[in-house]
Amino acid sequence: MTSTESITAQDLSIQVTDSDGGALVCLGGRVTVDSSPKLRKQLLALLSRGSLPTLIIDLSELSYIDCSGIATLIEALRIARQRHSNLQVRGVRDGPRHLLEVTGLLHLFETGGGRTIPPSQGFLDGENHRSR
């Protein structure tokens, strides 16, 4: 069974397509400090379900993301890993890609069009690492 839900928050559109195999979240517009709480709420609701094998976040229509949006994606990734869900981010381009590159986080989210994000080291696994 497949269902679709659309949410608009500030300059952000969130479209969720839910199926037995997981969920697809398509983002459009801008993720800012004003709109990221709505995104966070939606992602955490999806991840808190009993069983979510795969969560795909499509950023291909996203024109801008700030640090609060990046923090939301990192939190979702950490929770997905704790719950043994497969989280994939697709369609990273332009401004969002640049921010992920300059922060050194692109390798955590790059999926190459659908490959599973590899397990990370460090803070995403709940460890607090400092420079050695």
Query: Would you kindly state where each structural domain of the chain is located, as residue ranges?
Result: 3-125
Report which DSSP code applies to 124: G
In degrees and rounded to multiples of 5, residue 125 shows phi and psi of -95, 10
**Comparing C-alpha atoms, which of 35, 37, 13, 33 is closest to residue 25?**
13
Look at residue 9 and give its three-state secondary structure: strand
Overall fold of domain 3-125: Transcription Regulator spoIIAA (3.30.750)
Structure confidence at residue 124 as a pLDDT band (50, 70, 90): very low
Return mean pLDDT, the chain. 80
Q: Is the pLDDT of residue 65 over 60?
A: yes
- Per cent of the chain over pLDDT 90 is 45
According to the model, what pLDDT value does residue 40 have? 97
Euclidean distance between CA atoms 67 and 118, whole angstroms: 22
Query: CA torsion sign, 75 to 25 to 112 to 96?
Result: negative
Cβ-Cβ contacts under 8 Å for 38 (sequence gap 6 or more): 7, 9, 10, 12, 14
Q: Is the pLDDT of residue 48 over 80?
A: yes
User: pTM here?
Assistant: 0.77
Q: Is the pLDDT of residue 32 over 50?
A: yes
The helix or strand, by DSSP H or E, that contains position 92, with its residue range, turns out to be none
Euclidean distance between CA atoms 54 and 27, whole angstroms: 17
